[in-house]
Structure 1
Amino acid sequence: MVQFSLRRRFQRRVLVLRRCIRRLLDRVFMSCLGKTVRYRMLPHAIMMTPASPSSPPSSSSSSSASPSIANESSSSSSKDVINVAPAPTSASINNEVDSDLVSLKITLLGDAHTGKTSFMVKYVGGEEEQGRVEGKGLSSIGKTLLVKGARISYSIWEVEGDEKSKDHIPVACKDSVAVLFMFDLTSRCTLNSVIRWYQEARKWNQTAIPIIVGTKFDDFIQLPIDLQWTIASEARTLAKALNATLFFSSATYNINVNKIFKFITARLFDLPWTVERNLTLGEPIIDF
């Protein structure tokens, strides 16, 4: 019995000694670190897409981190915080968003009061976010559409029809994919001016698709039938001479406005869409 009790006392002392040694080692270990380490749980999106181990760390990762992480690390400078990967910047997001964006510039030329502005506003509709930019003799407006999975941004430039605005023709025609030469169907003198506008435009752009647009068709059909026939014949002859497509349109009733831009897009991208020729007098003519 005496031997058994001595053995139990010895075992207890050994256990106590082990506990003391463990506590001492823990204190020594913590004093060597000198600072606590706090861990942060990674967001679900980042855990699903781990960073590549071969990519070197960015020197600006701390400055581009999300605000909540940046503020936390700056307020606790005495502690080491394991930061998550920085969120993508707005520039990188915009680059990804704009990767499928195709920009097309289209120019409207013609005499004053031929309905260029009404035509442009009718097509764009109520898209205020891309707003209209106006200057002296020159204005532009934009519209973006989704076509075959790609976003197409139309930038439409209008040159006013007075003499002073001719100085803007080089800027307006540069890089344009199509030029719309517009005339008033009720004013034959504006039709005769199309040749002059065509010659000026070709000085600065020889590759743009030429389109002749007769505006105010709703007023045109109120004219005498013989006058309608004369104007339509002259317009068709001019379009053939300039190798241009002819459209009669009305911004008031949205006649052939959208169809003209569909025609341009189909021509540029070889889309399976064809416009039907219409030579019936009294109807909006389409000739090519």
Structure 2
Amino acid sequence: MPTTIHKPHAAAAIQTNPKFPHLPSLLFSAKLAHDATAAAMTKLCRKLVRWRLLERVSLVRHFFRFIWDRLFSCSSGTTPKRYRRLPSRSPPPATDGGSSPEQPTTSGAFDSDSDFDSADLVSLKISLLGDCQIGKTSFVIKYVGDEQERNSLQMSGINLMNKTLSIQNALISFCIWDVKGDSSSQDQLPLACKDAVAILFMFDLTSRRTLNSVVDWYTEARKWNQTAIPILIGTKFDDFVRLPPDLQWTVVSQARAYARVMKATLFFSSSIHNINVNKIFKFIAAKLFDIPWSVERNLTIGEPIIDF
């Protein structure tokens, strides 16, 4: 009868191999270190997931609280109403640099004796994207006013401000999302861009680095919203006009090239001197509601550029 030869198990062979007397203890130590590392990584991953979940829950809670406060202030009889019902006639004609009588007019006053119905209010979202310290917040404050700025809602990486317009017997509320532009705001881009009717891509006219960043902001925004009206805005025009003419020409040429690629209208603006601030939002309203209000192109170096 043939003799069966049993080969020793690998682990047993290692343990009994006299050439490696310390190998079993080394393997055991390595296994303990691996298990400890895996446990630490698992714990860290759980903390990260929990932290992100809590952050998003907090963001959603703040957002709905903001919406609830606005709705309550409009519907409650004991609190001042932010919005007033439009009269039955159309708003009076107004002019703003060649605009037609159909242009929108603002209605910032409270009307405590009107029987306001919240169903009359249409809320539209507008997002502002761009690097830090380029004047986005000053731009919004110039448009909405100091009172609305004091009532703004600040969340992680985002400022929310409102502006009410009366447009052809309709009451429109622009909910403006000002994305701060720092590292903390990157995670808020999907929320800021979703459902926006217009996205304002902004840069500092005196900093070409911020103009170059517009490409990245545009690329990221289009991942989450492909239908919003794109507008390219250069801020701090009052400082820009002090630059040498050849440098101004270079910036204008680059900005116009970017606007063509983005299929965006280009505006140069100044919050300090209120240059093209209101005109930009009137342009958005005209686009959204097919209002026959036109803006004249201006390509003169040294003047606030408008190109489309």
After TM superposition, the score normalised by the length of structure 2 is 0.61
CA-CA distance at 1:257 after TM superposition: 0.3
CA-CA distance at 1:129 after TM superposition: 8.8
Distance 2:149 2:132 in 1: 27
Match of 1:260 among 274, 280, 289: 280
Question: Secondary structure of the equivalent of 1:254?
Answer: coil
Question: Secondary structure of the equivalent of 1:169?
Answer: helix
Question: Secondary structure of the equivalent of 1:193?
Answer: helix
CA-CA distance at 1:130 after TM superposition: 8.1
Instruction: Work out whether 1:231 is the aligned partner of 2:251.
Output: yes
CA-CA distance at 1:136 after TM superposition: 2.0
Two-structure CA RMSD over aligned residues (Å): 1.8
CA-CA distance at 1:254 after TM superposition: 0.4
User: Any residues of structure 2 matched to 1:201-240 within 5 Å, and which?
Assistant: 201-240=221-260
CA-CA distance at 1:279 after TM superposition: 0.4
| Contact 1:130 1:141 survives alignment (8 Å) | no
Identity of aligned residues (%): 64
| Contact 2:266 2:305 survives alignment (8 Å) | yes
Instruction: Work out whether 1:118 is the aligned partner of 2:118.
Output: no
Distance 2:274 2:214 in 1: 22
Distance 1:129 1:163 in 2: 23
Residues 142 and 162 (structure 1), Cα distance of their counterparts in 2 relative to 1, 3 Å cut: same
The residue that corresponds to 2:182 in the other structure is 162
Distance 2:288 2:148 in 1: 27
List 4+ stretches of structure 1 deviating above 3 A: 93-96, 126-130
* Rg comparison, structure with higher value: 1
Match of 1:269 among 282, 289, 296: 289
Deviations 1:214-237 (A, max 9, x none): 000000000001000000000001
| Contact 2:266 2:307 survives alignment (8 Å) | yes
| Contact 1:130 1:143 survives alignment (8 Å) | no
Amino acid at match of 1:228: Q
Match of 1:105 among 97, 103, 125: 125
Gaps of 5+ in 1: 1-92
Match of 2:265 among 242, 245, 249: 245
CA-CA distance at 1:278 after TM superposition: 0.5
Amino acid at match of 1:254: N
Distance 1:95 1:174 in 2: 32
The residue that corresponds to 2:195 in the other structure is 175
Question: Secondary structure of the equivalent of 2:133?
Answer: coil
Question: Secondary structure of the equivalent of 1:265?
Answer: helix
User: Any residues of structure 2 matched to 1:28-107 within 5 Å, and which?
Assistant: 97-107=117-127
